[in-house]
Amino acid sequence: MKISIFGLGYVGAVSLACLARDGHTVVGVDVDAAKLDLIASGRTPVVEEGMIDLVDAVVKSGRVRVTQDARTAVLETSVSLVCVGTPSAPNGSQDQSAMLRLAHQMGEALKAKPAGHVVVFRSTLVPGTTDDVLRPILEEVSGKREGVDFHVCFQPEFLREGSSIRDYDRPPFTIVGAASDTAVATLRELFGHLPCEFHVTTIRAAETVKYSCNNFHALKITFANETARLCEALGVDPFQVMDLVCKDRQLNISPAYLKPGFAFGGSCLPKDLRATMYFARTRDVELPLHAAILPSNRIHIDRAIEKVTATGKRRLGMIGLSFKAGTDDLRESPLVILAEHFIGKGMSLLVYDPDVHLSNLLGANRRFIEQHVPHIGQLIHRDMGPVVDESDVLIVGLADKATREALRKRVRPDQTVIDLVHLGDVEDWPCEVQGLCW
């Protein structure tokens, strides 16, 4: 394939070398003449393991050409990978000036190109940029229509500096955000052979995945470093602790707890976080990441309160009360906090939870509910029927498959369901279903 690559920094230069190595003809474009001169003479513009030999080899192969002229690069190739820098502006926003300039240049080039073209944005872009900013510029400047005359897509890059050639060859996955089959087919041809899953999604979702991955990596590093600071105060070896933490592949290094849903609660996580923070304070250890967890969890609870309040309805039914399905543990259940709030606001509330039988509650569990919602006994029903029938809003906090199905069959068109658990496909529900953030 004939490919043009715009921006020959870490991402662009490595892509140029690897694509040329794989037999493609590549035109590299950059505004920096020094980088172009280096590549033209077979030298790498970036310090990366393997790049010295690879750039030398691919330039000698004759499959690499470099230029500052965006127009000829688009005209000579069928696909463009855009890898220009998108650094931080002083206020923290993304500085897209290089990308915007390039979009205008590419628009001009597309105007002059009779054949079709695929533009693949590979730079990290704030979600919405491709659809709302770049596509309109390309269409306006070229006078052509995306999806007809040319195609746009977004494919985030996951390589890491220091191991970029290895990462190019073994990415965690290939994500293609595209609205057209032509763009997907082109990227499948270019990257479909890589030993990883190939996922197609919307452009916005692909842009968001890149941010979520980087934010998650930053979160992991900071968690490990805060844990180390805590370990230092405790006189414990942080490497041993984190090595053991990572050995748990069921709950720690796994998809567990990484699905959007309602706030956490229960008898362990909130109390253990509080104890961690108390200990840290007593030893002057700062743990801002840990300190943000409970407030963030509370914001999730407040969001559910806002959703219910915004319906303007005052007869509420809660499906679920304990802190998670399959248990009657009410201690620090976020659903109990919701119940407490709505009762305090004088709303009518009925509750159904198949696992909670007040007469069976003992010890700390009983004390917790008596302290927070002392009259809950009068509100809990053993059957879901009356709770559904006598409510205008149903707050679904827990729902196994059977409960979900029974609920779907029983709700009326005038009711609103506030879905805290992601009920899944709710298109055939007879009433309005509002997700918490979905």
Is 357 one of the binding residues for ligand NAD (CB under 6 A)? no
Q: Do 425 and 401 meet the contact criterion of CB atoms below 8 Å apart?
A: no
Is 51 one of the binding residues for ligand NAD (CB under 6 A)? no
CA 37 to chain centre: 39
H/E stretch holding 52: helix 51-61
**CA-based nearest residue to 316, from 287, 349, 359, 345:** 349
- Please, which residue, 214 or 252, has the CB nearer to ligand NAD? 214
- Please, which residue, 86 or 186, has the CB nearer to ligand NAD? 86
Number of residues in contact with ligand NAD, rule: CB under 6 A? 25
User: Which range touches ligand NAD (CB under 6 A), out of 81-89, 113-121, 134-142, 188-196?
Assistant: 81-89
Is 317 one of the binding residues for ligand NAD (CB under 6 A)? no
What distance in Å separates the CA atoms of residue 204 and residue 359, rounded to the nearest whole number?
Answer: 50
Numbers of helices and strands, H then E, in the chain: 19, 14
Determine whether 268 is an active site residue: yes
Helix (H, G, I), strand (E, B) or coil at 220: helix
Binding mask 121-150 for ligand NAD (x = CB under 6 A): --xx--------------------------
Q: Do 263 and 397 meet the contact criterion of CB atoms below 8 Å apart?
A: no
User: Which range touches ligand NAD (CB under 6 A), out of 27-35, 171-179, 265-273, 340-348?
Assistant: 27-35
Is 73 one of the binding residues for ligand NAD (CB under 6 A)? no
**CA-based nearest residue to 159, from 172, 178, 147, 144:** 172
Helix (H, G, I), strand (E, B) or coil at 388: helix
CB of 170 to ligand NAD, least distance (A): 15
CB of 237 to ligand NAD, least distance (A): 31
Is 9 one of the binding residues for ligand NAD (CB under 6 A)? yes
Of 12, 28, 127, 354, the one binding ligand NAD (CB under 6 A) is 12
What distance in Å separates the CA atoms of residue 257 and residue 251, rounded to the nearest whole number?
Answer: 8
CB of 125 to ligand NAD, least distance (A): 7
What distance in Å separates the CA atoms of residue 227 and residue 168, rounded to the nearest whole number?
Answer: 32
Is 238 one of the binding residues for ligand NAD (CB under 6 A)? no
Is 98 one of the binding residues for ligand NAD (CB under 6 A)? yes
Is 328 one of the binding residues for ligand NAD (CB under 6 A)? no
Is 102 one of the binding residues for ligand NAD (CB under 6 A)? yes
Of 85, 116, 266, 435, the one binding ligand NAD (CB under 6 A) is 85
Q: CB nearest ligand NAD: which residue? A: 9
What distance in Å separates the CA atoms of residue 83 and residue 71, rounded to the nearest whole number?
Answer: 16
Q: CB-based burial of residue 202 (10 Å sphere; 0-12 exposed, 13-18 middle, 19+ buried)?
A: middle
User: Which range touches ligand NAD (CB under 6 A), out of 29-37, 106-114, 272-280, 323-331?
Assistant: 29-37
Q: What is the DSSP letter of 359?
A: G
Q: Which residues contact 383 (CB under 8 A, 6 or more apart)?
A: 352
Q: What is the largest CA-CA distance in the chain?
A: 83
Tokens found for residue 138? 């390309």
Q: Do 320 and 365 meet the contact criterion of CB atoms below 8 Å apart?
A: no
Question: What Rg value do the Cα atoms of the chain yield, rounded?
Answer: 28
Binding mask 147-176 for ligand NAD (x = CB under 6 A): ----------x-xxx---------------
Q: What is the DSSP letter of 360?
A: G
Is 29 one of the binding residues for ligand NAD (CB under 6 A)? yes
CB of 256 to ligand NAD, least distance (A): 27
The catalytic position among 83, 153, 196, 268 is 268
In this structure, how many other beta carbons lie within 10 angstroms of the beta carbon of residue 37?
Answer: 12
CB of 184 to ligand NAD, least distance (A): 21
- Please, which residue, 24 or 122, has the CB nearer to ligand NAD? 122
Helix (H, G, I), strand (E, B) or coil at 178: strand
Helix (H, G, I), strand (E, B) or coil at 27: strand
CB of 211 to ligand NAD, least distance (A): 10
CB of 391 to ligand NAD, least distance (A): 49
CB of 218 to ligand NAD, least distance (A): 13
| Catalytic residue IDs | 268
Chain residues binding ligand NAD by CB under 6 A are 6-12, 29-32, 35, 83-86, 98, 101-102, 123-124, 157, 159-161
